[in-house]
Structure 1
């Protein structure tokens, strides 16, 4: 008789279901108020069973945060892959991330709070996300150099400078601060984009 080979589909499905329930709780009540017991109860399992798939509540937090920031990375990648001048792509990418983060603050307050805390506490998933986005900046800058749009000697350094120049427009806590003080964040961002494009050597 032919023996059926067991697969990992059931554990994978259970893990995915745990994250689905956890994310739903995070969006409704916040990640800090969500306990492993809450997640387990919703799934009809024991907390000990949750720990078979995730070593800690922090591991669940990181996974959910990773899913959230992956949305930002996918937006950035989709813009970077489009055809067109590098300056336009960089401008659109920065504006898109800013608007996405601001929309999350307004419409998904609990998600905003989690990402803000993750950035403040320097979670590993956030460090990887920032590096990924900075690499996308670098790729666009390299395209601009090759096309004669930008005139800088070190695209990697330029990308890091772009990252630092736009922290106040991309960091969730800083966006929240600006909104609370009635600042027009998008107009400020457009001004900063014009400045950074000149710094990259773009001619009007």
Structure 2
């Protein structure tokens, strides 16, 4: 879910800014009464509350979608008031963005793990592209409310999506640079090669483009395999067919 004009970062760490926190007034008062309301305990309590509210929000979004999920629904499940939720999440959109961040961070972590595998850069690149395609297609087919959430994030340019795009581009650039240094790939510039790979493969992992192609009845698995072969040839790999481009070949 990246875009060809995403700005490159220089570090390859995979991290995602999670949502803001929540804690009930009761937790706060109890902590004061016990006399251990230190910054460390405060952070732990607030962190637990943040994760709890996002757990509940994600459960509702997966079941009925982000547009139908309300702060009242979340507050009811938490056993608190809407005011308590709004105290730390200024809008429902902030909750949606944080849930989105959780979901795409899972993909980013998998992509990062693939990029760090002990294998030739060419194989890792193929596996990485397969992971991006498979997750996008699976969400469309099996997790439609999550797919719709990501489509909204793309259309509205949420900050979480922008961070994710930059991370994926950074990982791809580092991987292509490794391939160039090892003599597996041939290109004048790793950054230019990365932009070319993203542009060529965008229709196979951008949620909106994937949905369009599926609606048109295209065999996405076969098309993805063909496009990966094209990308590998464009990177001047000796034989694009020697790499396993089957989207089911990698279990990530």
Partner of 1:70: 105
Alignment partner, residue 183 of structure 1: 218
In the alignment, is residue 198 of structure 1 matched against residue 233 of structure 2? Answer: yes
State the match for 1:172 in structure 2. Answer: 207
Aligned length: 202
1:81 aligns with 2:121: no
Q: Which moved more, 1:46-55 or 1:6-15?
A: 6-15
Q: Name the SS for the 1:118 alignment partner.
A: helix
In 2, the alpha carbon distance for the partners of 1:11 and 1:122 equals 28
Provide the C-alpha distance between the structure 2 equivalents of 1:200 and 1:160, rounded to a whole number of angstroms: 12
Residues of 1 paired with 2:199 and 2:163: CA distance? 16
- Report SS of the residue matched to 2:163: helix
Give the match's secondary structure for 1:83.
coil
Structure-2 change in CA distance of 1:35 and 1:4 (3 Å)? closer
The reply on whether 1:142 has 2:177 as its aligned counterpart is yes
CA shift at 1:108, angstroms? 0.9
Query: What corresponds to 1:55 in structure 2?
Result: 90
Aligned to 1:101: 136
Query: Which residue in 1 is equivalent to 2:165?
Result: 130
1:102–1:175 contact (8 Å) kept in structure 2: yes
Q: CA-to-partner distance for each residue in 1:3-56, whole Å, 9 max, x for gaps?
A: 635312222211111111000000001001111111111111111100122121
Contact 1:95–1:186 (8 Å) recurs in 2:
no
The structure with the largest helix share of the pair is 1
Secondary structure of the corresponding residue to residue 166 of structure 1: helix
CA distance in 2, matches of 1:49, 1:115: 27
CA RMSD of aligned residues (A): 1.3
Runs (4+) of structure 1 exceeding 4 A deviation are none
Q: Partners in 1 of 2:102 and 2:157 — Cα distance?
A: 16
SS in 1 for 2:114: helix
Query: Is residue 4 of structure 1 aligned with residue 36 of structure 2?
Result: yes
Runs of 5+ in structure 2 lacking a partner?
Answer: 1-34, 240-252
> Alpha-carbon deviation of 1:155?
0.5
Corresponding residue of 2:191 = 156
Any idea what the Cα deviations from partners look like across 1:65-102, whole Å, max 9, x if unmatched?
00110111011111101111211111111012111111
Structure 1: gaps (5+ residues): none
Q: Residue 45 of structure 1: which of 80, 83, 91 is its match?
A: 80
TM-score of the pair, normalised by structure 1: 0.94
Work out which of the residue numbers 143, 149, 153 in structure 2 matches 1:114: 149
Give TM-score, length-normalised by structure 2: 0.77
